[in-house]
Structures are given as structure tokens and as C-alpha cells.
Amino acid sequence: MLRVLLTPRMLAFHALVALVVPSFVWLGFWQWGRWEDKAAAAALQEANIAADPVPVRELAAPGEDVPPEDRWRRVTATGRYDTEHELLVRNRDGSAGVGLHVLTPLVTDDGPALLVNRGWIAQPPSATAEPEVPPAPEGEVTVTGRLQYSETPENTGIRVREGLPEGQIMIVDVDTIAEDLPYPVYGGYAELTEQRPESADAPEPVAAPEVNTGMNLSYAVQWWVFTVIAIGGWIFLMRREVKDARDGSAEAPGTSGGSGGSDGPGGGGPGPEPGGSGGGTPAAAEGTSERSAPAEDAAAGTAEPRPHSGARR
């Protein structure tokens, strides 16, 4: 009975299920892993932003990038802005759409400079127009900002372009920027959140991204639901194939008996005629006997003696 599950059609279906089910399970765990990574990053972001600020020298050093676990930590630094080496970072989002970030080195009292992202400004109306950049305050300032590690094409997904206008860059690659500065530079940079004294005219502060773990958890559950559906459909089809085979086997004997000879009991043909014993020949013989009786009588009449002619005389 189980041979019906080994037909070419069923073997192809088994192979399909064997391919689909592990794939769905793997995709579910892949989405689960992405959700865990995003959840961990969101928890780290919340915890580090909520932590008390510390001097930048405690978390960063010249020539060393910021460790991932220190990203989003709030740091403080005191010094003077070097506006001569100010840069504009292209294609950055703000409240009014895509614009520029203003990156200004802050030469600290300790010696190294900290690259400070002072905020967002609007894109100029044309490619040839100069953007309007609010000036950095003169004199000594104390800044507080969220620490970020150096940007690369790999960790930002932004392709570095050549031929940009002077003073504009695509990513905050600290090592590349430090090559053109006359002083050492802390690894990483800071997104400005507070400044003392405040500026009357300043770029729009860069907002911290919303904590969002995305849809990966629901995607993982969906893949696993698809796995259960695939296995359930496979079991249902196998049970139906076996049931159909059993039903066909049960009908086979009745179908064979009903197809016998056309004569006799159980057959479809007519039985022998009443009064006969073996077909039409006895009836014909009976008719022959009935037809021979007058002939016998005639023969008997001929044999009677004829009167003697002498008696008349």
C-alpha cells in the first residue's frame, strides 16, 4: 500500500519538501538573528545616551577608532573651533529633507582635536551655489556630544565620490580627514547636543535615531509558519494518496465479478427458454415429430386389404 508514496510524482514532491522546509527554517533563524542584533544595538544606544557624560579623553585617543560598545556615549571637551578646516558632509537628512552636516574640528586644551558635527543645514538651491553655514562661536567653548566611530563605505553603505566641491566630503572618515590637519585628532567624532556658551545662530542639532528593532521578528515568525504549512501539506497529501489507493483496492473484486459471461446466473444474457433442455434443437425435433404423424396415418390406410373382384359377381 505504501508503494503509492514512491511513485515518480510523489518522489518529486518529497524532494521539494526536503528542499523547502530546511530553507524556511534557516530563513527564520536568519531573521531572528537580525532582530537580536538590532535589539542589542537599540539597548546599547539607549543605555549609552542615558549614561552621564565623561571627558572625551577617557573613551577616545588619537589614531584609535571608537569601540562599538562606546558608541553613543556622551563626551565633553573644551577648546576652540578651527573654522579654517571646517568640512561639509553631503546627503544627510534633516527636518526639511536632505542637506549637509557641518563638521568643525575643536582643538582641545589637552592638545588633540575632536571633530564635532555641529548640525544640519539645508542644501543650497543649486549645485554651484555656496551653502549658508552658521559661523562657529569664537573663543573657548565646552561641548557635549554623542560619540561616534569613524565612518567607512562598509559601515555606512555610502559610496565615496570623487570631484566634490572643495570642503565637501561624503563620509566622516577620521583617518583621512586627520591627514590634512596640522594637529593630532581623536579617533571618532561627536554629534553636538549641548554647547556653552550657546550660539545665537547654529545649525540644526542632529537628532538621535529612533530606537527600532524593525520587522525582523515578525519575518522570522512568518518563515516558521510557512514551515509548518509545508509539512502539514506534505502529510495531508500522503494520507490522501494512501486513502485513494485503499479505496481503489476495495472496489476491485466487485468490478471483476460483474464482468463474467453473458449466460447463466449473474450474467447479463438470457437463460434457456422454458421447456427446453439445451437450446433450439429439441423444439425443432418436436416440430418434426408432429409433422410426421399424418404421413404414418396415410401409410396405414394404404396397407388395408382391397375388396376381391370376385365377390361382386
Average pLDDT over residues 198-206: 91
C-alpha cell at 143: 561641548
Q: Which is nearest to 77 in space by CA: 104, 53, 47, 46?
A: 53
d(CA 38, CA 111): 37
Q: How many CB atoms lie within 10 A of CB 222?
A: 15
pLDDT digits (tens, 9 = 90+) for 126-136: 767 888 999 99
280 pLDDT more than 60: no
* pLDDT confidence of residue 1: 57
Cα–Cα distance measured from residue 287 to residue 278, given in angstroms and rounded to the nearest whole number: 16
289 pLDDT above the threshold of 80? no
Which of residues 244 and 26 earns the better pLDDT score?
26
Three cell numbers, residue 78: 573644551
- State yes or no: pLDDT of 98 exceeds 50: yes
**pTM beyond cutoff 0.85:** no
What does the radius of gyration of the chain's CA atoms come to, in whole angstroms? 53
What pLDDT sits at residue 249? 73
Q: What is the mean pLDDT of the chain?
A: 82
Average pLDDT on 49-55 reads 96
> Distances in Å between the alpha carbon of 150 and those of 3, 63, 67, 160, 269?
64, 11, 10, 14, 99
Give the pLDDT confidence score for residue 266 in this predicted structure: 44
Residue 264 φ/ψ region, left for φ over 0, alpha for ψ in the -120 to 50 degree band, beta for the rest: left
Query: 55-93: per-residue pLDDT in tens?
Result: 999 999 998 999 999 999 999 999 999 999 999 999 999
What's the confidence (pLDDT) of residue 86?
97
Most confident range (mean pLDDT) of 45-49, 101-105, 236-240 is 101-105
Position 41 pLDDT exceeds 50: yes
The answer on pLDDT for 183 being more than 60 is yes
Asked whether the predicted pLDDT for residue 277 surpasses 70, the reply is: no
Which of 157-161, 173-177, 200-204 holds the top average pLDDT? Answer: 173-177
Q: Tell which wins on pLDDT, 183 or 257.
A: 183
Per-residue pLDDT band at 2 (split at 50, 70, 90)? low
52-124+137-196 CATH = 2.40.50
Question: Does the pLDDT value for residue 297 go beyond 80?
Answer: no
Percentage of the chain lying above the pLDDT 90 cut = 54
What per-residue confidence (pLDDT) applies to 294?
Answer: 45
Q: At 200, is the pLDDT very low, low, confident or very high (cuts 50, 70, 90)?
A: confident
